[in-house]
Amino acid sequence: ESFNAAVADASALNAFIVTTPDHALAAADAVDARRAKGEDLGGMGGVPIGMKDLFCTDGVQTTAASHILEGFVPRYESTVSRKLWEAGAGMLGKLNLDQFAMGSSNETSYFSNVSSPWRKDGTNAAMSPGGSSGGSSAAVSARIAPAATGTDTGGSIRQPAAFTGIAGIKPTYGRCSRWGVVAFASSLDQAGPMARSVEDCAIMLEAMAGFDPKDATSLQMDVPAWEAGLDANLKGKRIGIPREYRMEGTDQAILDSWEQGKAWLRDAGAEIVDVSLPHTKYALPAYYIIAPAEASSNLARYDGVRYGLRDLPDGSGLQDMYAATREEGFGDEVKRRILIGTYVLSAGFYDAYYTQAQKIRALVAKDFEDAFASCDAILAPTTPTASFPLGDKSDDPLAMYLNDVFAVPASLAGLPAMSVPAMLNPEGLPLGLQIVGKPFDEQGVLNAGLAIQ
Ligand code: GLN
């Protein structure tokens, strides 16, 4: 009964593209059987989770929220989802997202936008759950699922977590296998957990992470016992406050939450120090060259032959089929990215755009390396504003891109970064704080998050 009620809630929010109750129930039965045999399953045993519809799931439609993949049923399981099932988790369904994970509001989905369960005090306008992992953030914050997978290329775990008052961590690039995850920008894409608490994120990330020979950029490192290592005592730790993140246009409430975050970390024993990340203002423009460049290459595979949709106009040939399928199958934002990407990669423009952006990427990474000489982790806001009403920014790509101004630098540098719920703004909407850590120091990030939540 309560499951049916949850599914009814889910349909009001449009969080799921498909629901898979049998998968979750079978997992629960299997866990009972394994426990009866004395197997000690960790914290994911029997937990029903939502799966962002960017992860290929064996026998279950996988769409990336795009018409071009509608009806595509993989015959294989992504490494991350396989590891979760092995840990005893089960799947409630495939969660809605921005099409191919391109977006910050969930409005680019072919299957219509997701609504946040949050409202501004005294109003009833439907708010954005953030994006691209907006189905995940909405489902977890509405208590429909205790946890969900997300992916983060330039903020897509952290920004939706911040918008909906939940926790989410993007681990160090390479921690979670990209195998079987629909590719957006391969040098940036990382999977991670979204859940109600830092503790739940630690438990779930442990199950998701680990070396995978099928992903050439997978880290050959053991997965630490993050849950056992949780410790909110930050004595001896230095937390850096990057001065370049004090940007014009940042809401006062966001700045207030940042001050509050510093105070909480100080209370937990940390020392707060000023740091500088001088190339911060170039990170967003560089991201919007690199990510579309990689996307234009990754999305070349949707040709009407291998996956999902095929549009073969009468009497037409192969080229016409490619064109018709891609015209019909991709949404506007996806087409915009492909056009930008092919442009910046084309002969004559490559050096002016793509090479320059790669240089900026290296400088942004170097900024963090220098800053980490004087601190253990960095505290910043996750987003420059709280959630906004659906429709408010959907006609203004640049305003939409600005959502990720604080999230993108850590992505370019491949660093672990987490958003934790901080407080509500004066309108009653959640605000998140972001912690960015040194490479491979998810533990430091989780511990600072624990001191804040
Ligand atoms: N909002 C950013 C974009 O549209 C980030 C998306 C993501 O992290 N998948 O590219």
Stated length of the chain: 453
Query: What tokens does 195 get?
Result: 């859940």
Question: How does pLDDT run across 247-270, given as a tens digit for each residue?
Answer: 887 889 999 999 999 999 999 999
Question: How does pLDDT run across 288-309, given as a tens digit for each residue?
Answer: 999 999 999 999 999 999 888 9
Closest ligand 1 atom to residue 156 Cα is 8
Alpha-carbon distance of 217 to 184, in angstroms, equals 15
Indicate the SS3 state at residue 60. Answer: strand
Indicate the SS3 state at residue 222. Answer: coil
Active site includes 394? no
Report which residue type is found at 434. Q
Mean pLDDT of the chain: 96
Query: What tokens does 423 get?
Result: 């407080």
Closest ligand 1 atom to residue 337 Cα is 10
Q: Which residue's C-alpha comes closest to atom 5 of ligand 1?
A: 154
Mean of the pLDDT values across residues 429-450?
98
Domains of the chain: 2-208 (3.90.1300.10)
Closest ligand 1 atom to residue 131 Cα is 1
Concatenating the DSSP letter of every residue in 291-355 gives HHHHHHHHGGG-SSSSSS-----TT--HHHHHHHHHHHHS-HHHHHHHHHHHHHHSTTTHIIIII
**Which run of H or of E encompasses 423?**
strand 417-424
- Substitution candidate for ligand 1 out of 53, 132, 187 with most atoms within 8 A of CB: 132
Alpha-carbon distance of 368 to 362, in angstroms, equals 10
- Substitution candidate for ligand 1 out of 137, 153, 288, 411 with most atoms within 8 A of CB: 153
Active site includes 11? no
Active site includes 156? yes
Residue of 52, 83, 94, 170 with catalytic role: 52
Find tokens 């490192």 and name the residue.
Answer: 221
Pairing of strands 417-424, 167-170: antiparallel
Q: For residue 5, what pLDDT band results from cuts at 50, 70 and 90?
A: low
Tell me which residues have their CB closer than 6 angstroms to ligand 1.
101-104, 132, 152-156, 184, 291, 404
Q: For residue 3, what pLDDT band results from cuts at 50, 70 and 90?
A: low
ipTM value > 0.90: yes
Query: What tokens does 387 get?
Result: 């959630």
Contact predicate 101/64, CB 8 Å: yes
Alpha-carbon distance of 225 to 203, in angstroms, equals 9
Which is nearest to 386 in space by CA: 52, 119, 97? Answer: 119
Which is nearest to 9 in space by CA: 208, 193, 144, 146? Answer: 144
